[in-house]
């Protein structure tokens, strides 16, 4: 499905087939399990974001790199969900990632994406040219999220953020390591690290609430708003605030759920946040304006609901609605 003027454009440089493999017990050295056949779901962080925005009735386009060997399955998923397909085709197949879930815990195997591509193939320029073609109307929001093939280069998100910002789009960045560090230099409107990703780019532990608040303030030097996911406990939201009021910092506890698979939970939370932050038919807020209580509640509700499904399957909107009613209120810290 092609959409000439999407509201949201998401980048997915490392799509994957995600699957969850249930195990009877957490493995020990030498264990052999007869695991059941696991169902594969087309996924990847950018696709997860675009898919939830489409569920919410928003116009979304997906760009990135799509292996020709699996293009049919991903194109069918985009057609089914109403996402405009702007992915650049590259040789080969997409990666396969597995979450192994056991009563004693779980672990995940993420494979590298398109290791056969080289810088000479210019995959980053190819993907960006498809998602943001010259002369096309810009999206309201560009979402740069997920890992990338080595051939793309660690500075790609910084380059893409500058290009989208120059077109007038708000940029949301969800990355890690050098891609996050370099991307912050492009001053995105929103940055969404998790706790470990923030620790990695800032260089100190976020064990205590005071450390988290310090991290949020440092990240606000580069981004107008920060959404820092904190696993099953909830999420921190911070913005630069209104003139004269100082930074806005709140923690929104997550409603409790029977989690099955965290794959896609953070992506769904980010998508719901952007859906509420940039409502259809309404003007965009000042990038540093405080986040509404309802927007925070909806975001953590969507993330929690996504953790109840296997693979990258979107949650039931009715469950999100129920969890929204159970979420909150926000508070200055986790322990307040």
From 272, 251, 240, select the one nearest 333 (Cα to Cα): 251
Residue 105 has what DSSP assignment? E
| pLDDT per position as a tens digit, 233-269 | 999 999 998 766 789 999 999 999 998 888 899 999 9
Residue 2 has what DSSP assignment? -
pLDDT of residue 134: 86
pLDDT of residue 205: 96
The pairing of strands 105-109 and 95-102 is antiparallel
- Please compute the mean of the pLDDT values over residues 192-209 and round it to a whole number: 96
- Whole-prediction pTM: 0.93
pLDDT surpassing 50 at residue 1: no
pLDDT of residue 220: 97
From 277, 295, 286, select the one nearest 242 (Cα to Cα): 286
Catalytic machinery residues: 267
* Edge-first strand listing for the sheet containing 105-109: 40-43, 16-22, 95-102, 105-109
| pLDDT per position as a tens digit, 2-60 | 446 899 999 999 999 988 888 888 888 998 988 777 778 899 999 999 999 999 999 99
Query: How far is 44 from 42, CA to CA, in rounded Å?
Result: 7
CATH 3.40.50.920 is right for the domain spanning 8-326: no
Domains of the chain, by residue range, sit at 8-326
């Amino acid at each position: 499905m092609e959409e000439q003027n999407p509201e949201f454009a998401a980048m997915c440089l490392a799509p994957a087939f995600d699957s969850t493999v249930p195990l009877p017990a957490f493995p020990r050295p030498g264990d052999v399990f007869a695991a059941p056949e696991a169902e594969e779901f087309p996924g990847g962080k950018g696709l997860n974001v675009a898919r939830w925005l489409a569920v919410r009735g928003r116009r979304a386009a997906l760009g990135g790199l799509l292996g020709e060997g699996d293009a049919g399955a991903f194109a069918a998923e985009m057609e089914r969900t109403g996402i405009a397909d702007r992915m650049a085709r590259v040789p080969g197949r997409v990666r396969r990632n597995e979450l192994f879930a056991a009563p004693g815990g779980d672990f995940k195997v993420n494979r590298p994406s398109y290791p056969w591509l080289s810088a000479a193939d210019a995959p980053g320029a190819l993907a960006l040219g498809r998602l943001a073609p010259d002369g096309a109307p810009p999206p309201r929001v560009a979402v740069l999220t997920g890992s990338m093939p080595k051939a793309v280069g660690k500075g790609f998100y910084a380059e893409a953020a500058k290009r989208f910002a120059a077109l007038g789009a708000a940029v949301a960045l969800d990355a890690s390591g050098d891609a996050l560090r370099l991307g912050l230099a492009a001053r995105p409107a929103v940055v969404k690290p998790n706790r470990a990703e923030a620790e990695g780019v800032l260089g100190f532990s976020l064990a205590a609430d005071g450390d988290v608040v310090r991290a949020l303030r440092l990240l606000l030097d580069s981004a107008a708003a920060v959404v820092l996911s904190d696993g099953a406990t909830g999420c921190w939201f911070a913005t630069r605030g209104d003139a004269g009021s100082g930074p806005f910092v709140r923690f929104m506890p997550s409603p409790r759920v029977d989690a099955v698979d965290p794959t896609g939970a953070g992506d769904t939370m980010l998508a719901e946040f952007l859906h509420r932050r940039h409502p259809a038919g309404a003007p965009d807020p000042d990038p540093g304006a405080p986040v509404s209580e309802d927007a925070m509640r909806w975001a953590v509700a969507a993330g929690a609901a996504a953790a109840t499904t296997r693979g990258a399957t979107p949650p039931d909107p009715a469950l999100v609605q129920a969890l929204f009613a159970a979420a909150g209120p926000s508070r200055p810290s986790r322990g307040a």
